[in-house]
């Protein structure tokens, strides 16, 4: 058996009232008067359905909020970890090693002149023999000395207008002597004395000695390692004072090898290879990026 709630609707210009079974009043818009009965069970079922829907809605909202918070925290954590992983310091390290040249090269030019080609050659031959004796006296061996080909220059007379004529006024013959030895000290001691032969009437020109070091490849490996260690030391000094620590190498770039005179500050993007001195400084700069941790 159903329990009914009686609803009485009373006409009113803008509203109406009803009286329930417990005497409660509710304003309901209406323009007509009529009476309708509603089953109580149906009312309760609808009320329970509404309550259930409200609970489900609240659960869905709470789930969405919780998921959003978790995702936000995960994103912040991931971003923080990525930021830490990207922390790094870039420093330069330098290493220098002084070496002694093990190869010396030097050249000498002897000239002979004369009004005829024969007289010019005789003069040249005298000069070459005199230079040979000079080098032998200085301790050079035959296998350290080479002689180049003879070159000839002809000088012609000129007329009153300054034009060349076919009349030869002089022949000049010249010949190069090359000296190459591992005893670089002999070249250094001799190069400045050869021009003393000019006093004996020997037309001689002494070139500038060239000194090189053949072990650059081996030194390069050593100074690169030393430069990288120097870079790490510098990075540790900076990060330790800032409360951090240096981790693994992220990137390393090698500079150009510089071979300079001792204590020189010259550098070149193409590299310097000085040959003017027996003693040399072989140096290199490396740029290293280290990862850092802590802060």
- Report if residue 131 sits inside a domain: yes
pLDDT tens readout for residues 91-104? 999 999 999 999 99
Domain of residue 22: give its range: 4-50
- Report if residue 153 sits inside a domain: yes
For residues 166 and 232, state if they share a domain: no
pTM attached to this predicted model: 0.65
Give the pLDDT mean for 169-180: 96
Choose the final residue of a domain: 163, 179, 212. Answer: 212
Q: CA end-to-end span of the chain, whole Å?
A: 79
Q: List the CATH number of the domain containing 95.
A: 3.30.110.170
For residues 137 and 155, state if they share a domain: yes
d(CA 97, CA 281): 6
For residues 236 and 172, state if they share a domain: no
For residues 10 and 21, state if they share a domain: yes
For residues 174 and 118, state if they share a domain: yes
Give the pLDDT mean for 52-64: 58
- Report if residue 114 sits inside a domain: yes
Q: E strand or H helix at 99, and its extent?
A: strand 88-100
- Report if residue 77 sits inside a domain: no
For residues 287 and 248, state if they share a domain: yes
pLDDT tens readout for residues 115-173? 999 999 999 999 999 999 999 999 999 999 999 999 999 999 988 888 888 888 999 99
If one counts every other C-beta atom within 10 angstroms of the C-beta of residue 32, the result is 7
Asked whether residue 24 carries a pLDDT value surpassing 50, the answer given is no
- Report if residue 63 sits inside a domain: no
For residues 165 and 189, state if they share a domain: yes
For residues 193 and 236, state if they share a domain: no
**Tokens 């509404």 appear where?**
50
For residues 251 and 116, state if they share a domain: no
For residues 110 and 181, state if they share a domain: yes
- Report if residue 60 sits inside a domain: no
């Amino acid at each position: 058996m159903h329990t009914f709630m009686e609803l009485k609707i009373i006409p009113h210009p803008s509203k109406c009232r009803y009286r329930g079974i417990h005497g409660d009043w509710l304003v309901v818009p209406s323009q007509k008067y009529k009476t309708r009965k509603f089953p109580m069970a149906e009312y309760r079922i609808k009320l329970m359905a509404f309550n259930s829907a409200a609970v489900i809605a609240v659960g869905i909202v709470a789930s969405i909020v919780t998921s959003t918070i978790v995702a936000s925290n995960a994103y912040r954590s991931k971003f923080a970890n990525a930021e830490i992983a990207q922390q790094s310091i870039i420093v330069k390290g330098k290493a220098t090693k002084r070496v002694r040249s093990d190869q010396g090269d030097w050249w000498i030019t002897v000239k002979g002149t004369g009004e005829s080609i024969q007289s010019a050659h005789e003069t040249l031959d005298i000069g070459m023999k005199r230079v040979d004796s000079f080098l032998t006296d200085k301790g050079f061996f035959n296998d350290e000395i080479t002689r180049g080909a003879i070159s000839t220059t002809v000088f012609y007379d000129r007329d009153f207008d300054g034009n060349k004529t076919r009349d030869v006024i002089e022949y000049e013959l010249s010949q190069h002597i090359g000296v190459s030895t591992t005893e670089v000290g002999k070249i250094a001691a001799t190069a400045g004395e050869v021009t003393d032969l000019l006093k004996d009437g020997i037309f001689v020109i002494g070139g500038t000695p060239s000194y090189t070091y053949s072990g650059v490849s081996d030194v390069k490996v050593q100074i690169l390692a030393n430069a990288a260690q120097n870079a790490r030391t510098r990075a540790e000094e900076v990060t330790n004072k800032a409360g951090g620590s240096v981790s693994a190498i992220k990137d390393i770039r090698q500079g150009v090898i510089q071979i300079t005179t001792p204590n020189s500050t010259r550098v070149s993007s193409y590299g310097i290879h000085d040959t003017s001195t027996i003693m040399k400084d072989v140096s290199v700069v490396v740029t290293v990026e280290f990862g850092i941790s802590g802060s």
